[in-house]
């Protein structure tokens, strides 16, 4: 029996019979209720909030960082983490801005931005798999290194004066739909299909559930980790493009604390920090929960420092609740599998 067949067999064995009770007790339903509550609160703060153009415009203020959520889900399911994504965004954006101000065509500057972000992610993955280092230590180091490079390149200056067509990424519409929302929806569909409908996605879960067993089963653990961390760098570069377009300029301090928001979104989405658990739709719902929560707090002029406190509390609560939920499920499974006397 080859490795793929053995993994497929374990997946089939672990499947349970469909239950309406289990279906409606899924984490995503709670997230939907929380999202509805936040929309209701925001509408009470502003009578104009529930208008389509206002809601659509609000998504343009927070969806740029949401692209990093997709690879971060894969990383955390594998029991890893990447805290360098905000610095990768900054370095990619600064590279793009400086190259354009030096006379490089904007299209080539965008390509350079994508290459730099992807290279940063690849370097993270390479160091982790080549030397079997902790992802926390590696990405903490590169977080400082990438941000430092951004300051070396641009110092305390800003780069801007981009062509008008570049503004379309951050503020453009396709019909009545913001371009960034449409692009996010396409990426979300692809991410869901990859994680939940492909062998690659099943390998991600297998690595998170038991890395050693996956390696013995023939799963190319190191290769998959390298790919996923590289994708995180690519996603950070895409974020850099949308964020720079929305701001109209770039500085070395942009995307500060983005890693906190992204990890909070993933954790709130029900992705277990123990690995091997969680679903992509939950993380996508969490993007809109935290995004609209921040937007609503902005309507009543809550200071940015308070937003950090609220995000941190959400992260603590979501990690605690999801860990408790999966621990309870594990205990129930052990009790159910005990042989009757």
- Going from the C-alpha of 118 to that of each of 85, 104, 121, 198, the distances in angstroms are 11, 20, 5, 23
- pLDDT tens string, the chain, 341 residues long: the values are 454 545 544 444 444 565 665 665 688 998 999 999 999 988 988 888 888 998 999 999 999 999 999 999 999 999 999 999 999 999 999 999 999 999 999 999 999 999 999 999 999 999 999 999 999 999 999 999 999 999 999 998 999 999 999 999 999 999 999 999 999 999 999 999 999 999 999 999 999 999 999 999 999 999 999 999 999 999 999 999 999 999 999 999 999 989 988 998 999 999 987 888 899 999 999 999 999 988 888 888 888 778 778 877 877 877 777 666 666 655 655 665 565 55
Rounded CA-CA distance 102/334 in Å is: 63
Angle 93-98-99 (CA atoms, 0-180°, nearest 5)?
Answer: 100
Task: Give the helix ranges, DSSP H, for 155-220.
Answer: 168-171, 179-197, 199-209, 211-216
Rounded CA-CA distance 95/243 in Å is: 14
Rounded CA-CA distance 51/19 in Å is: 37
Contact 81, 75 (CB under 8 A): yes
- Going from the C-alpha of 309 to that of each of 86, 103, 304, the distances in angstroms are 18, 42, 9
Angle 192-198-204 (CA atoms, 0-180°, nearest 5)?
Answer: 80
pLDDT of residue 322: 67
Contact 166, 106 (CB under 8 A): yes
pLDDT of residue 213: 94
Closest CA to 153 of 255, 64, 253, 247: 253
Neighbour tally for 246: CB within 10 Å = 16
Task: Give the helix ranges, DSSP H, for the chain.
Answer: 3-14, 20-24, 27-45, 52-59, 69-77, 85-101, 106-130, 135-154, 168-171, 179-197, 199-209, 211-216, 221-247, 258-268, 280-299, 304-337
Which fold would CATH assign to domain 27-323?
ABC transporter involved in vitamin B12 uptake, BtuC (1.10.3470)
pLDDT of residue 325: 64
Rounded CA-CA distance 324/77 in Å is: 17
pLDDT of residue 218: 94
Tokens of 56: 């659509």
Q: Which residue is associated with the tokens 């499920």? A: 329
pLDDT of residue 300: 80
Give 241: exposed, middle or buried? Use CB within 10 Å, 0-12, 13-18, 19+: buried
Contact 30, 282 (CB under 8 A): no
pLDDT of residue 9: 46
Closest CA to 312 of 324, 322, 320, 301: 320
Rounded CA-CA distance 206/213 in Å is: 8
């Amino acid at each position: 029996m080859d490795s793929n067949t053995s993994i497929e067999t374990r997946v089939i064995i672990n499947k349970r019979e469909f239950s309406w009770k289990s279906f409606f007790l899924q984490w995503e339903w709670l997230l939907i209720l929380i999202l509805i509550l936040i929309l209701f609160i925001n509408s009470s703060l502003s009578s104009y909030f529930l208008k389509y153009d206002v809601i659509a415009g609000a998504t343009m203020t927070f969806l740029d960082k949401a692209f990093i959520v997709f690879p971060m889900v894969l990383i955390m399911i594998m029991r890893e983490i990447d805290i360098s994504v905000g610095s990768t965004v900054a370095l990619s954006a600064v590279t793009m801005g400086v190259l354009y101000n030096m006379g490089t065509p904007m299209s080539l500057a965008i390509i350079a931005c994508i290459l730099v972000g992807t290279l940063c992610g690849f370097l993270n993955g390479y160091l982790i798999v080549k030397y079997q280092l902790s992802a926390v230590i590696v990405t903490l180091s590169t977080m400082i290194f990438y941000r430092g490079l951004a300051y070396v390149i641009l110092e305390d200056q800003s780069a801007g004066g981009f062509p008008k067509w570049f503004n379309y990424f951050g503020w453009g519409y396709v019909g009545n739909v913001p371009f960034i929302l449409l692009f996010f929806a396409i990426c979300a569909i692809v991410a869901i299909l990859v994680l939940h409908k492909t062998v690659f996605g099943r390998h991600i879960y297998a690595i998170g559930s038991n890395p050693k067993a996956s390696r013995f089963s023939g799963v190319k653990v190191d290769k998959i980790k390298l790919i996923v961390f590289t994708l995180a760098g690519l996603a950070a570069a895409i974020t850099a493009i949308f964020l720079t377009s929305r701001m109209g300029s770039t500085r070395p301090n942009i995307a500060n604390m983005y890693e906190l928001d992204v990890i909070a979104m993933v954790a709130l989405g029900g992705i277990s920090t123990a690995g091997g658990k969680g679903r992509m739709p939950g993380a996508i719902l969490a993007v809109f929960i935290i995004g609209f929560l921040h937007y609503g707090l902005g309507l009543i002029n809550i200071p940015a420092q308070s937003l950090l406190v609220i995000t941190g509390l959400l992260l603590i609560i979501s990690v605690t609740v999801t860990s408790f939920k999966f621990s309870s499920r594990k205990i129930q499974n052990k009790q159910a599998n005990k042989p009757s006397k």
